[in-house]
């Protein structure tokens, strides 16, 4: 097989994957992210601070799909702006990197339950090297000629996007599990019986903890290929005079690694649905609300037990005869 034919085959494979897989990501991911936003915006889940991070991550996942996937899909049948416009190449890479970092760290900070929004400015600054060092060479948009910037980019993605958030997720999720176990043991030793609200809150905490573990596991699983490819591409960039076949193989490997990154925002809704019963209940409520509004039906208002009891205990009004009426009745007797 000649070098030209191998390059053509790999390029055609990548084109077909962009056409069909990215379309599937949009079809599955965008509605899923919108439903995530609607569900985590509900009052029951917003009472848990951890779910506020899931809400922020869902919004960020939606932006990630738009910024990352739509330009690539547009370039299939139109001129590729990533390789023809330097400014678009830089801005898209800058925004895409911010979205990826925020998506990872929102989940990480959900585990340690801190206010993550204050780190937005940090990531807008630390990702700014893409705006400076990105260039277009040979139909490739990226850091190509500046070895120092490429090394910095590799290290910061490896540490800031891989090792640190993964370690934070695992460590804090284990600590949360430990604290919940101690809390449950103290509650069992307490002589006062738990209220129904406390039991429901404990169940909700367990479901949120399960979500954290699932999110952390899939995050590590889906970002590992990118980290491996990043190390490989950094090492291979130092090899001079690489053949056309080698460049084509490196390109398809990098594309597949990036393709895996989108699985995380696309699959979040389906992971939530399969994992947490509370998420399923809120999803059913949203569908019922939408159905009732589309059909013009009003939800049935069920009176509470307290209201029913108070109604039955209320005394009936007593009929009192006036003196005139009493006198008249006596005269007739």
| Res 62: pLDDT | 92
CATH code for residues 3-295: 1.20.1070.10
| Res 70: pLDDT | 92
What is the Cα–Cα distance from 59 to 33, expressed in whole angstroms? Answer: 7
The pTM (predicted TM-score) of the whole model is 0.64
| Res 35: pLDDT | 92
Other Cβ atoms closer than 10 A to 285? 14
What is the Cα–Cα distance from 279 to 215, expressed in whole angstroms? Answer: 14
| Res 176: pLDDT | 67
Give pLDDT tens digits along the chain (333 positions): 555 688 888 888 988 998 999 999 999 999 999 999 998 888 877 777 777 888 888 999 999 999 999 999 998 888 888 888 888 988 988 888 888 888 777 777 776 654 444 455 555 666 666 666 677 776 677 777 667 777 777 777 777 667 777 777 777 767 766 766 666 666 555 544 456 556 666 677 677 777 777 877 887 788 888 888 888 887 877 777 778 888 888 888 888 888 888 888 888 888 888 877 878 888 888 888 888 888 877 655 544 434 443 444 444 444 444 444 444 444 444
CA distances from 57 to 10, 215, 249, 282, 308 (A): 34, 11, 33, 18, 43
CB 33 within 8 A of CB 268: yes
| Res 274: pLDDT | 81
| Res 330: pLDDT | 46
| Res 324: pLDDT | 43
CB 35 within 8 A of CB 286: yes
Domain ranges of the chain: 3-295
What is the Cα–Cα distance from 148 to 159, expressed in whole angstroms? Answer: 17
What is the Cα–Cα distance from 311 to 14, expressed in whole angstroms? Answer: 70
| Res 21: pLDDT | 92
């Amino acid at each position: 097989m000649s070098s030209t034919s191998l390059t053509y085959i790999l390029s055609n494979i990548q084109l077909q994957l962009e056409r069909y897989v990215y379309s599937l990501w949009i079809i599955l991911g965008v509605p899923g992210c919108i439903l995530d936003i609607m569900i985590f915006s509900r009052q029951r889940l917003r009472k848990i601070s951890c779910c506020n991070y899931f809400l922020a991550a869902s919004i960020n996942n939606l932006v990630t799909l738009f910024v990352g996937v739509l330009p690539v899909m547009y370039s299939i049948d139109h001129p590729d702006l990533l390789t023809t416009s330097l400014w678009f190449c830089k801005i898209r890479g800058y925004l895409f990197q911010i979205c990826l970092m925020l998506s990872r760290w929102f989940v990480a900070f959900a585990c340690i339950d801190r206010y993550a929004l204050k780190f937005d400015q940090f990531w807008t600054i630390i990702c700014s090297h893409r705006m400076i060092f990105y260039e277009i060479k040979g139909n490739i948009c990226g850091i190509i000629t500046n070895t120092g910037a490429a090394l910095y980019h590799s290290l910061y993605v490896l540490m800031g996007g891989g090792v640190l958030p993964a370690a934070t997720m695992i460590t804090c999720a284990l600590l949360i599990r430990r604290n919940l176990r101690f809390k449950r043991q103290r509650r069992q030793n307490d002589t006062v019986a738990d209220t129904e609200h406390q039991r429901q809150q404990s169940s909700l905490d367990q479901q949120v903890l399960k979500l954290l573990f699932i999110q952390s596991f899939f995050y590590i699983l889906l970002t590992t290929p990118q980290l491996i490819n990043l190390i490989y591409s950094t090492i291979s960039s130092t090899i001079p005079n690489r053949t056309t076949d080698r460049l084509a193989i490196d390109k398809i490997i990098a594309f597949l690694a990036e393709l895996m990154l989108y699985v995380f925002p696309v699959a979040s809704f389906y992971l939530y649905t399969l994992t947490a019963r509370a998420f399923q209940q809120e999803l059913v409520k949203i569908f019922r609300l939408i159905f009732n509004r589309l059909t013009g039906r009003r939800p049935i208002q069920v009176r509470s037990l307290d209201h029913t009891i108070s109604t039955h205990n209320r005394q009936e009004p007593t009929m009192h005869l006036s003196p005139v009426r009493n006198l008249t009745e006596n005269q007739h007797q």
